[in-house]
Amino acid sequence: MRFEATVHGIVQGVFFRYNTRLRAEGLGVVGTVENRPDGTVRIVAEGPRERLDEFLAWLRVGPEAAVVDRVDVTWSEASGGYGAFRILR
């Protein structure tokens, strides 16, 4: 499965991307995380549904310094285009 999520709140400048990558790697999830110009963080993740559900639950809380207001998510079939989990910008 695959999801694309946008995380809103205090999520930039709080090691959100770094911790997101660590969590994804620990779960065996592949994809990307990046800061967006509007102050949100965008995540594309692919993997088994159970692992993605666990990952999404973590994104709704984030790392200790973050304040997550909401997470917008859309689900689809995996593209298979990712070999690892990477931080983009």
User: Does 56 reside within a domain?
Assistant: yes
- How many domains does the structure of the chain reveal? 1
Q: How confident is the model at residue 52 (pLDDT cuts 50, 70, 90)?
A: very high
pLDDT for res 66: 97
User: Does 23 reside within a domain?
Assistant: yes
User: Does 29 reside within a domain?
Assistant: yes
User: Does 69 reside within a domain?
Assistant: yes
Q: What is the pLDDT of residues 54-63, one digit of tens each?
A: 999 999 999 9
Across 27-43, average pLDDT:
98
CATH of the domain at 10: 3.30.70.100
3-state SS, residue 18 = helix
- Out of 35, 42, 51, 86, which one is annotated catalytic? 35
- Out of 2, 17, 21, 23, which one is annotated catalytic? 17
Identity (one letter) of the amino acid at 70?
Answer: R
Active site (annotated) includes residue 17: yes
User: Does 83 reside within a domain?
Assistant: no
- CA separation for the pair 78, 89 (Å, rounded): 22
Domain hosting residue 51, numbered range: 2-76
User: Does 81 reside within a domain?
Assistant: no
